[in-house]
Amino acid sequence: MRIAIAQIATRAGDFDGTARRMAEVSRRAADAGADLLVFPVAALCGVTPVQRTDREGFLIDLMECLLGLIDELACPCLLPVLLDTDEAALPEALLIDEGEIRPVRLAARLESASAGRGDAAADALPEVPFRGARLGVAFTYDDLDVYDDYDYDVDVIVFLSGYGFAADDPSSALGTSLTEGRFLADAEATGAWVVGVGSLGCYDTQVFCGSSFVLAPWGELAAQSPAFEEDLLVCDVDPSAEGPLADPVTPEVYDAPLMTWGAIGSGLSSLVREAGATGACVAVTGELAPMLAATLAVDALGPTNVSAVVARGMGAERDADALALVRALRLDEKDVEVVDVSAAEDDVAAEDLLACRLAALARRTGRVPLGSLDKTGRALEASPARASVAAVEPFADVYRSDLLALARTRTTISPVVPPAALARFHVPDVAGGPDSAPAEARLAFVDLVLSSYLEWELPVSDIVAERGRAEEVSAIVGRLRDLEATRPARALAPTVSSRTLDEARQAVGLAWRDRPRDDGERLEARIRDLVGDAADEPRPDDADDERAGSDAPPEGEIRDLMGYLRDFSAGGAFSAMGGLQRGESSGRHEGGAPRTPDVWNGPFSEN
């Protein structure tokens, strides 16, 4: 069977434009002899459901689009859509073949129900006979786990990934990260071909990198599309083959910082375009973050589409480095405005002056003003009353220690950022940290605690048990919660982690704060003590047996309760730290387990 993957960038809900593109791609796939053309999960409907008030109209227009596509598609197609129900938005895959539409997920559940499988019918996954093969369709890592663990008779698993790129989840990069992701294990566990289909572009604020792939059951890479580029990938899949492939593709060595830089740039260009502009403007000082924002803007939009206001009067070395950067980025002189801030009473006032000039530049040029806030600063640094005009914050979902890794990676491509600027960053002021430690090591620990608490959803006790330094961990998490009321509202930024600060927001005004607890204070130990105390109580008199038996829970119920509590406690089957047989590289997207390197260097590997 010959499978084609249409890795195309679209706009969510642009039914007419996307339908025309799909019809055109289907003709190319048919000319290439494809038996099945697969579209990405976000291509037609995106990944975010519409508001309840818009559901009816959206569904009607979607139905009209699909009815028109039946006659326009030149070959059989697997087309994902997002069906919005009263309970939740559910992805579905429509198999369009010979004038008919078959919702494969719904069909699998109906077939399971008709076979009398009871509650299991709601979770049944597809097994679709097609062109001499049996196709499985997965949307999530959980779906892949089910195919891995249960006896599904499939030759090919089509993974329609709905996960945007996340730096803490290597598998979200699909083919680019095969050596560090989960898919080799999936192919081995199922004995099936794995066809990973990646969306491309920015949907809402989630960035999708493409990098679709076809993986043989024995672990060889049969084909792969590039990242951040449109592509029509055509590959022959033989369910009876046992390998090896005649001409396998060598998997890439995963470069996480480079991939993250590309994802942020892709997201930035999309957000600027959605704002109705073609360019951006930035305020450049001698600090690392503003320099990196200017560099990113040039990489994403081109030097002719970037304007800058450059600070002068913040120190001779900083002033020289700021000017050197804009020259290295080849910004036109007419797009560079030097602003003297030497009269400002402090650095905050100087930044206010720059912000005012940046606002004037944005009005004059019609370009989108960019900021340079990062995730660490938004989480832990109080926001003083200041002027701010940034419409897009490209680094709002990136930890500060990871900005250092991005800067070093970008410098290896071309050294536009002056070397001295790499040391110009601040470490959040939290209690309990070792003042004698190097600044970069202190920053790395701060970000480790934040990512453990936010992305991996580990309680304070688990973080302390793993890393120690209880006072500092408590101070970091406490500071994060103390600033809930003063933290700036949701920043428009590319999402490049599996959990943003806004998604992790706590209720404003909550007085309770967690604290580190030793093993004897944890929930499982407390319940065990209670059960033990109950078991040690003297048995009631025989005359009271009947009354006592009606009040005391049966021993079986106590055992069940203990089992559930153990599963949900730290290290249990349902905890954030344990219970997974695979997926240690799957990120928090579907309950993966965090890595535990000796020294944390952000989510990036050492490659």
Q: What is the rounded distance in angstroms from the CA atom of residue 410 to the CA atom of residue 298?
A: 12
Q: What is the rounded distance in angstroms from the CA atom of residue 369 to the CA atom of residue 359?
A: 7
Could you report the per-residue pLDDT of 409-423, keeping only the tens digit for each? Answer: 999 999 999 999 999
**So what CATH class is 2-254?**
alpha beta
Q: Which residue has the tokens 């980025």?
A: 329
Could you report the per-residue pLDDT of 457-471, keeping only the tens digit for each? Answer: 999 999 999 998 889
- For residue 575, pLDDT over 90 is answered with no
**Per-residue pLDDT at 95:** 97
Could you report the per-residue pLDDT of 522-556, keeping only the tens digit for each? Answer: 877 778 777 776 666 665 555 455 554 555 556 56
Assign 577 a pLDDT band (cuts: 50, 70, 90): very low
**Per-residue pLDDT at 508:** 86
- For residue 161, pLDDT over 60 is answered with yes
Could you report the per-residue pLDDT of 507-527, keeping only the tens digit for each? Answer: 888 888 888 888 777 877 778
Mean per-residue pLDDT of the chain: 87
**Number of residues written out for the chain:** 607
- Name every residue whose Cβ is closer than 8 Å to that of residue 372 and which is 6 or more positions away in sequence: 282, 283, 287, 289, 290, 292, 293, 393, 395
First to last CA, the chain: 36
Q: What is the rounded distance in angstroms from the CA atom of residue 492 to the CA atom of residue 164?
A: 16
**Per-residue pLDDT at 325:** 96
Q: What is the rounded distance in angstroms from the CA atom of residue 474 to the CA atom of residue 200?
A: 40
pTM: 0.87
Q: What is the rounded distance in angstroms from the CA atom of residue 542 to the CA atom of residue 107?
A: 59
**Per-residue pLDDT at 431:** 77
Identify the weakest region by mean pLDDT among 169-178, 290-299, 472-481, 565-574. Answer: 565-574
**Per-residue pLDDT at 164:** 96
**Per-residue pLDDT at 67:** 95
**Per-residue pLDDT at 9:** 97
- For residue 82, pLDDT over 60 is answered with yes
Assign 190 a pLDDT band (cuts: 50, 70, 90): very high
Closest listed residue to residue 497, CA positions, set 161, 268, 168, 140: 168
Mean pLDDT comparison of 207-216, 511-520, 552-561, highest-scoring range: 207-216
**So what CATH class is 263-428?**
alpha beta
- For residue 237, pLDDT over 90 is answered with yes
Cis-peptide into 428, omega within 30 deg: no
**Per-residue pLDDT at 59:** 93
Domain ranges for the chain: 2-254, 263-428, 519-590
Question: What is the maximum span of the chain, computed from C-alpha positions, in angstroms?
Answer: 98
Could you report the per-residue pLDDT of 325-373, keeping only the tens digit for each? Answer: 999 999 999 999 999 999 888 888 999 999 999 999 999 999 999 999 9
Cα-only R_g, the chain: 27
Q: What is the rounded distance in angstroms from the CA atom of residue 136 to the CA atom of residue 157?
A: 4
